[in-house]
């Protein structure tokens, strides 16, 4: 009787382990699955963009393809299923896509560690026809290499002021737009700690 009981316990453990392995494989498969509707979008690309002020896009004329022929692989590319009405730097347009480039420069500290000294964020906004409708060059620098030195506008920035921007925004309401971007992606669990997201424009799609 004792042997039969031990064999039943062993069989149960084997089944339990097998189920856990299968569930783990299924979970890994789901988390590795990409949303095909956003196959061309880019998350966390190169961060060493060399900005050239002589190679700026022309608003209302430059196409996405022309831009990609001028610049290297972007840091980010976000596409919206439906255009969003935006006003950025005084220009109103329907935003369909955003392409971003960044360059983050750090310097060593005397007592060890590093500190950021030169940050440039370059975001270009496109309409549904793939035409540039606006761009933002957000360039900030530190005049001294220490953590307490304040950030000041750099020479490339085209932003006059940020009084209507929140501290963490790349452009006005960039956080809101980012939430709406992730709300439309079924694979957002791969990139976000929390799959729950709210969007003012549309309901979140179910995740994989």
Task: Summarize pLDDT for 181-204 with one digit per residue, the tens.
Answer: 999 999 999 888 778 899 999 999
pLDDT tens per residue across span 84-102: 999 999 999 999 999 999 9
Confidence of residue 131 (pLDDT cuts 50, 70, 90): very high
Q: Is the model more confident about 208 or about 171?
A: 171
The total of other beta-carbon atoms located within 10 Å of residue 3's CB is 7
* 70 belongs to a structural domain: yes
* 149 belongs to a structural domain: yes
* Measured distance CA(150)–CA(142) in Å, rounded: 6
* Measured distance CA(165)–CA(175) in Å, rounded: 11
Q: Which structural domain, as residue segments, surrounds residue 53?
A: 35-171
* 24 belongs to a structural domain: no
* 113 belongs to a structural domain: yes
Alpha-carbon dihedral angle through residues 193, 31, 75, 181, given to the nearest 10 degrees: -70
* 132 belongs to a structural domain: yes
* 112 belongs to a structural domain: yes
* 6 belongs to a structural domain: no
> How many domains does one find in the chain?
1
Confidence of residue 111 (pLDDT cuts 50, 70, 90): confident
DSSP 132: E
* 203 belongs to a structural domain: no
């Amino acid at each position: 009787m004792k042997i039969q009981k031990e064999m039943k316990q062993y069989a149960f453990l084997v089944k339990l382990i097998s189920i856990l392995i299968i569930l783990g494989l299924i979970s890994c498969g789901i988390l590795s699955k990409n949303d095909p509707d956003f196959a061309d979008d880019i998350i966390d690309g190169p961060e060493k963009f060399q900005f050239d002020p002589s190679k700026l896009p022309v608003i209302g004329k430059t196409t996405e393809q022309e831009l990609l022929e001028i610049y290297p692989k972007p840091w980010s590319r976000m596409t919206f299923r439906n255009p969003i009405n935006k006003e950025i730097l005084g220009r109103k347009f329907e935003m369909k896509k955003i392409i971003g480039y960044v360059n983050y420069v750090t310097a060593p500290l005397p007592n060890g560690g590093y500190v950021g000294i030169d940050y440039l964020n370059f975001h270009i906004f496109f309409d549904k026809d793939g035409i540039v409708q606006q761009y933002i060059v957000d360039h900030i620098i530190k005049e001294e290499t220490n953590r307490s030195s304040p950030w000041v506008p750099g020479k490339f920035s085209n932003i006059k002021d940020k009084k209507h921007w929140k501290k963490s925004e790349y452009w006005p309401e960039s956080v809101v737009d980012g939430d709406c971007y992730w709300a439309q992606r079924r694979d957002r669990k791969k990139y976000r700690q929390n799959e729950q997201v709210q969007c003012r424009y549309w309901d979140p799609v179910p995740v994989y």
